Amino acid sequence: QQQVKQSPQSLIVQKGGISIINCAYENTAFDYFPWYQQFPGKGPALLIAIRPDVSEKKEGRFTISFNKSAKQFSLHIMDSQPGDSATYFCAASNLSNDYKLSFGAGTTVTVRA
């Protein structure tokens, strides 16, 4: 069962543009939704996370939008920079039951200068 679906698989954006990555989940018990950034050869790095009691969270150029009724959440990267070129994974977990993260398939973002 694919618990977290992520799209698109890849995207190319111009420097200064907005990157948008979408995720949808099936398990209504999920209550923690982090995004991870991964550079080639490195481990996933926690970027930003949201709990379902808020609809949006912003940290610098990164914003998570959360729609509980639609069971969807998205990552927006504003003013995209070449250094943002990486693979981004959404994830979800149920903190009341177990703590394992269920990851999406990942989105490779390429920011062109």
Interface residues toward another protein, by CB under 8 A: 32, 34, 36, 41-46, 49, 89, 91, 93, 95, 98-106
Minimal distance, residue 72 CB to another protein, in Å: 18
| 78-110 core/surface letters (b: 16 or more CB in 10 A; e: else) | eebeeebbbbbbbbbbeeeeeeebbbbebbebe
How far, rounded to the nearest angstrom, does the alpha carbon of residue 67 sit from its chain's CA centroid?
13
Minimal distance, residue 17 CB to another protein, in Å: 26
Cβ-based neighbour number of residue 5 at 10 Å:
14
Q: Identify which of residues 40 and 113 has a Cβ nearer to another protein in the complex.
A: 40
- Furthest CA-CA distance within the chain: 44
Q: Identify which of residues 7 and 17 has a Cβ nearer to another protein in the complex.
A: 7
Q: Identify which of residues 13 and 49 has a Cβ nearer to another protein in the complex.
A: 49
Burial class (CB in 10 A: 0-12, 13-18, 19+), 36: buried
Q: Identify which of residues 34 and 84 has a Cβ nearer to another protein in the complex.
A: 34
Minimal distance, residue 113 CB to another protein, in Å: 26
Minimal distance, residue 42 CB to another protein, in Å: 6
